[in-house]
Amino acid sequence: MRLPRLFRTTPFRLTVLFLALFAAAASAFLAYIYLATVGEVSRQADASILKEMRSFQTLYRQGGFNSVNRAIIERSAGGGQFVYLLMDPTGAAVSGSLAASPVKHFDNDRDWVTFNITDQGPNGGLVRHPARGLEDRLPGGERLFVGVDVGRSESFVVSILRALWGAGALVLVLGLLGGLLVSRNVSRSIGNLVAVIDAARTGDLHARAPLSGSGDEYEELARGLNEMLERLERSVAGLRHAGDAIAHDLRSPLTRLRARLEAAMVETEAGRADPKVALRQALEDADGLLRTFAAVLAIGRLEAAGQAPDPTTFDPAVLASDMAELYQPLCEDKGLDFEAQLEQGLTVRANREFIAQALANILDNAVKYTPCGGAVMLRVRRRASGDVEFAVTDTGPGVPAKDRDRVAERFVRLENSRNQPGAGLGLSLVAAVARTHKGHLEIDEGPGEVDGHGPGLRVALVLPKAG
């Protein structure tokens, strides 16, 4: 037979174990107290009996048998703790409060005996008390028995012990109840966590453990579990999204490529077209596909990783001046003014390749969309907050305010940019790079409308300060 679940929990088992230990220790303690106290009581009784006996021996030597007899009669009538029996040398009773000596076979020596005194109880019934007694011979050959009622002291000890036993039993009961209560609470806390883990194991990553707000270790555990699930859910969603995005973006150009090849084959077979033209076109399509594929893969990997791989510490101005040097000729060829304002001596901790790629993407966009006669400015500076900003400002047509949040989404290409090359992944990669470096991407209006140019666009990649 299995115990109910509540009784099988670890806290309950621990409670039972501790209670058992407690009970054993308490029993040993009580037993020791009992033995020690009872021993002491009987030792004290014996001592008082001896003292009483000695006083009669002294009285006898001073006043003879009659004074002893008188004293016995007096003391028996006076009540007190002692009982007496004065006997002649043959053992026949002379005086005292007992009818017969509890010592059955007196052998002329001091004889100790433990016996019972029957007494009138408080409610009229007969009560038997345990008692100690001693019979001895007086100097004249007469015999004297002196006894003392130890029942009162002993029963006091016994009643205290009984109370202690009762308290012990109460502790055990309360302990068990407490154990059950603790065990139920723990079971509930753990049960919540187990339910969440079970849900996650069967594929439901939405489940979260409830937080009690108590700040105890169960809540800490629950919070840790929730954070872990959060992260897991994000990466899984990221991967799924990356998969969807790849499928989405590669399907249409692949379809186009296939259609073009098919048409070219038909036309070439009919002798109406030069296969070289179709092949060249197909090659260009394939190159575009590879570029898209690489960009989607980079974004997907970044997002799935959640953080930028292989970060190094470097001077952002050095990287930006490399990029400036790379893009300046392109700008000049297109009739654009190019300027770089780079604050020296800053440091960032980031993945150099991804930052370079992100800057190249932003510069690509700026060069692509800014008409001849415009300007492109690359700037690196430290903000008051300590964050490092890479900003590219152009004097192109800009992006309407309502679309600014959207342009960094994957594959979003605004209407007026459809005739430009590109897959619409440039800023999504920049956004992914910003996110995985714990930074952010800002898209604002540029310098405004001047001489038929503008309003322009300012795209800033902001990275948190190093360290």
Instruction: Single out the segment in contact with other proteins by CB under 8 A; choices: 98-106, 121-129, 148-156, 363-371.
Output: 363-371
Size of residue set near other proteins by CB under 8 A: 29
**SS3 label, residue 95:** strand
> Considering only residues 41-100, where is the footprint of other proteins by CB under 8 A?
none
Q: How far is the CB of 228 from other proteins (least distance, A)?
A: 24
Contact, 462 vs 434, CB < 8 A?
yes
| 97 versus 417: smaller Cβ distance to other proteins | 417
Classify burial at 295, counting beta carbons within 10 Å of its beta carbon; exposed 0-12, middle 13-18, buried 19 or more. Answer: buried
Contact, 49 vs 177, CB < 8 A?
no
Q: How far is the CB of 291 from other proteins (least distance, A)?
A: 6
Contact, 138 vs 60, CB < 8 A?
yes
Q: Of the candidates 311, 465, 442, 437, which has an alpha carbon nearest to the alpha carbon of residue 381? A: 465
Q: Is 367 in the site for other proteins (CB under 8 A)?
A: yes
| 174 versus 305: smaller Cβ distance to other proteins | 305
| 162 versus 258: smaller Cβ distance to other proteins | 258
Q: Report the Cα 401 to chain-centroid distance in Å.
A: 46
| Alpha carbons 300 and 298: distance in angstroms, whole number | 5
In angstroms, the Cα distances linking 198 to 187, 202, 211, 230 are 15, 6, 18, 16
Q: Which of 260, 368, 379, 413 binds other proteins (CB under 8 A)?
A: 368
> Considering only residues 252-281, where is the footprint of other proteins by CB under 8 A?
280
Tell me if the bond preceding 455 is cis, omega within 30° of 0. yes
Q: Is 413 in the site for other proteins (CB under 8 A)?
A: no
Contact, 135 vs 143, CB < 8 A?
yes
Q: Of the candidates 335, 361, 339, 311, which has an alpha carbon nearest to the alpha carbon of residue 466? A: 311
Q: Is 325 in the site for other proteins (CB under 8 A)?
A: yes
Q: How far is the CB of 294 from other proteins (least distance, A)?
A: 6
Which own/partner contact pairs does 221-225 have at CB distance under 8 Å and 24+ positions apart? 221/193, 222/189, 222/192, 222/193, 222/196, 225/193, 225/196, 225/197
> Considering only residues 373-412, where is the footprint of other proteins by CB under 8 A?
none
| 239 versus 330: smaller Cβ distance to other proteins | 330
Q: Is 14 in the site for other proteins (CB under 8 A)?
A: no
In angstroms, the Cα distances linking 298 to 232, 348, 350, 355 are 19, 21, 16, 12
Q: How far is the CB of 281 from other proteins (least distance, A)?
A: 12
Q: Which of 356, 412, 462, 466 binds other proteins (CB under 8 A)?
A: 356
| 343 versus 353: smaller Cβ distance to other proteins | 353
| Alpha carbons 138 and 59: distance in angstroms, whole number | 10
Q: Which of 343, 353, 387, 444 binds other proteins (CB under 8 A)?
A: 353
| x-or-dash string of contact with other proteins, 279-318, rule CB under 8 A | -x--x---x--xx-xx--x---x-------xx--------
| 351 versus 436: smaller Cβ distance to other proteins | 351
Q: How far is the CB of 353 from other proteins (least distance, A)?
A: 6
Q: Is 326 in the site for other proteins (CB under 8 A)?
A: yes
Q: How far is the CB of 386 from other proteins (least distance, A)?
A: 27
Q: Is 449 in the site for other proteins (CB under 8 A)?
A: no
Instruction: Single out the segment in contact with other proteins by CB under 8 A; choices: 81-89, 203-211, 351-359, 387-395.
Output: 351-359
In DSSP terms, 445 is beta-bridged to: 457
| Alpha carbons 35 and 45: distance in angstroms, whole number | 16
Q: Catalog residues that contact other proteins under the rule CB under 8 A.
A: 280, 283, 287, 290-291, 293-294, 297, 301, 309-310, 322, 325-327, 329-330, 333, 351, 353, 356-357, 360-361, 364, 367-368, 422, 426
